[in-house]
A and B are shown apart, each in its own frame.
Chain A
Amino acid sequence: MIFSPSKESISSLLNLLGKLLCLLGLLFLVPAGIALFLGEVPALFDFLISLFITETIGLLFLLFFPYKQDLDYSLAFLLVALVWLILPFFSALPLWFSGHFKSFLDAFFDSMSGFTTTGLSLIRDLDYLSYSHNFFRHFIMFLGGQGIIIVALSFSQKASSYGVGLYVGEARQERILPSIISTSRFIWTVTLVYFIIGSLLLFFLGLKAGLPYKKALFHGMFLFMAGFDTGGFTPQSLNLGYYHSLSLELATLIVMLLGSLNFNLHYFLWRKNLKEILKNIETRTFFISFSLLFIFLNLTLVLNSKIPLLELFRKGLYQILTAHTGCGFSNLTVSQLKSWSEGSLVFIIIAMALGGGVGSTTGGIKLMRVGLLFKSIVAEVKTWIFPAQVKMQEKYHHLQDFLLEDRRVKLAFIVFFFYLLSYLGGAVIGVLLGYPFLPALFESTSASANVGLTLGITSPQMPVLLKLTYIIQMWTGRLEFVSVIASLGIIISLFKK
Chain B
Amino acid sequence: MRRIFLLFLLILTNMLSLQAGEFIEIKELLAKPSFWDRKEVEVKAEVLDILRRKKGSWINILDGGVSLGVWVPEEVRLPQIIYLAGPEEKGDLIRIRGKFYFNNPQYLGQTMISAEGISLLKRGEKFSLEPTLKKKRALFLWALLFLITGVVYLIRNLKYARRTSKT
Q: How many residues of B contact A (CB 8 A)?
A: 47
Tell me the smallest distance from the CB of B81 to a CB of chain A, in Å: 13
B contact residues around A335 at 8 Å (CB): 30-31, 33, 102, 111
A contact residues around B53 at 8 Å (CB): 210
Are A45 and B142 in contact, CB atoms less than 8 angstroms apart? no
Are B139 and A52 in contact, CB atoms less than 8 angstroms apart? yes
Are A42 and B135 in contact, CB atoms less than 8 angstroms apart? yes
Are A129 and B87 in contact, CB atoms less than 8 angstroms apart? yes
B41 at the interface (CB under 8 A from A): no
Are A53 and B86 in contact, CB atoms less than 8 angstroms apart? no
A 221-245 to B, binary, CB cutoff 8 A, 1 in contact else 0: 0000000000000001110011110
Contact partner of B156 (CB less than 8 A), chosen from A63, A130, A238, A243, is A63
Known: A42-B130, A59-B149, A210-B52. A307 touches B109 (CB 8 A): yes
Are A49 and B138 in contact, CB atoms less than 8 angstroms apart? yes
- Which chain B residue has the least Cβ–Cβ distance from A53? B142
Q: How far is the CA of A335 from the CA of B35 in the complex (A)?
A: 13
A contact residues around B102 at 8 Å (CB): 335-336, 339
Q: How far is the CA of A311 from the CA of B105 in the complex (A)?
A: 7
B110 at the interface (CB under 8 A from A): yes
Are B65 and A308 in contact, CB atoms less than 8 angstroms apart? no
A contact residues around B107 at 8 Å (CB): 244
Tell me the smallest distance from the CB of B130 to a CB of chain A, in Å: 7
Are A62 and B153 in contact, CB atoms less than 8 angstroms apart? yes
Are A128 and B85 in contact, CB atoms less than 8 angstroms apart? yes
Are B69 and A41 in contact, CB atoms less than 8 angstroms apart? no
B contact residues around A62 at 8 Å (CB): 153
B143 at the interface (CB under 8 A from A): yes
Q: How far is the CA of A333 from the CA of B68 in the complex (A)?
A: 9
Known: A42-B131, A49-B139. A333 touches B146 (CB 8 A): no
Q: How far is the CA of A12 from the CA of B67 in the complex (A)?
A: 50
Tell me the smallest distance from the CB of B33 to a CB of chain A, in Å: 5
B 81-121 to A, binary, CB cutoff 8 A, 1 in contact else 0: 00001110000000000000011010111110000000000
B152 at the interface (CB under 8 A from A): yes
B contact residues around A332 at 8 Å (CB): 111
Are A39 and B129 in contact, CB atoms less than 8 angstroms apart? yes
Contact partner of A127 (CB less than 8 A), chosen from B69, B86, B108, is B86
A395 at the interface (CB under 8 A from B): no
A29 at the interface (CB under 8 A from B): no
A46 at the interface (CB under 8 A from B): yes
Tell me the smallest distance from the CB of A36 to a CB of chain B, in Å: 13
Tell me the smallest distance from the CB of A459 to a CB of chain B, in Å: 10
Q: How far is the CA of A59 from the CA of B149 in the complex (A)?
A: 7
Contact partner of B139 (CB less than 8 A), chosen from A39, A45, A59, is A45
Are B138 and A40 in contact, CB atoms less than 8 angstroms apart? no
Are B58 and A59 in contact, CB atoms less than 8 angstroms apart? no
Known: A56-B146, A63-B156, A336-B102. A244 touches B58 (CB 8 A): yes
Are A236 and B67 in contact, CB atoms less than 8 angstroms apart? yes
B 5-49 to A, binary, CB cutoff 8 A, 1 in contact else 0: 000000000000000000000000011011000000000000011
Tell me the smallest distance from the CB of A297 to a CB of chain B, in Å: 14
SS class of chain A's interface: helix, strand, loop or mixed?
helix
Are B110 and A45 in contact, CB atoms less than 8 angstroms apart? no
B contact residues around A238 at 8 Å (CB): 60, 67-69
Tell me the smallest distance from the CB of A122 to a CB of chain B, in Å: 12
Docked complex: A449-488 residues within 8 A CB-CB of B: none
A 42-69 to B, binary, CB cutoff 8 A, 1 in contact else 0: 1001101100110110011011000000
Docked complex: A411-460 residues within 8 A CB-CB of B: none
Q: How far is the CA of A314 from the CA of B142 in the complex (A)?
A: 51
- Which chain A residue has the least Cβ–Cβ distance from B138? A49
Q: How far is the CA of A37 from the CA of B129 in the complex (A)?
A: 14
Q: How far is the CA of A242 from the CA of B31 in the complex (A)?
A: 19
A 195-230 to B, binary, CB cutoff 8 A, 1 in contact else 0: 000000000000001110001000000000000000
B contact residues around A60 at 8 Å (CB): 149
Are A131 and B87 in contact, CB atoms less than 8 angstroms apart? yes
Contact partner of A125 (CB less than 8 A), chosen from B51, B65, B110, is B65
B residues sitting closer than 8 Å to A (CB atoms) are: 30-31, 33-34, 48-53, 57-58, 60, 62, 65-69, 85-87, 102-103, 105, 107-111, 129-132, 135-136, 138-139, 142-143, 145-146, 149-150, 152-153, 156
A45-B135, A63-B149, A311-B109 are known contacts; what are 9 more A-B pairs with Cβ within 8 Å?
A41-B131, A124-B65, A127-B48, A128-B87, A210-B52, A241-B110, A244-B69, A336-B103, A336-B109
A-B contact pairs, 26 of them (CB 8 A): A41-B129, A42-B131, A45-B136, A45-B139, A46-B135, A52-B146, A59-B150, A63-B156, A97-B135, A127-B62, A131-B87, A211-B49, A215-B49, A237-B65, A238-B60, A241-B69, A241-B111, A242-B60, A242-B69, A243-B51, A244-B110, A246-B108, A308-B109, A310-B108, A314-B108, A314-B109
A residues sitting closer than 8 Å to B (CB atoms) are: 39-42, 45-46, 48-49, 52-53, 55-56, 59-60, 62-63, 97, 124-125, 127-131, 209-211, 215, 236-238, 241-244, 246, 307-308, 310-311, 314-315, 332-336, 339
Closest 9 interchain pairs by CB? A210-B51, A52-B142, A311-B109, A130-B87, A52-B146, A335-B30, A59-B149, A45-B131, A42-B131
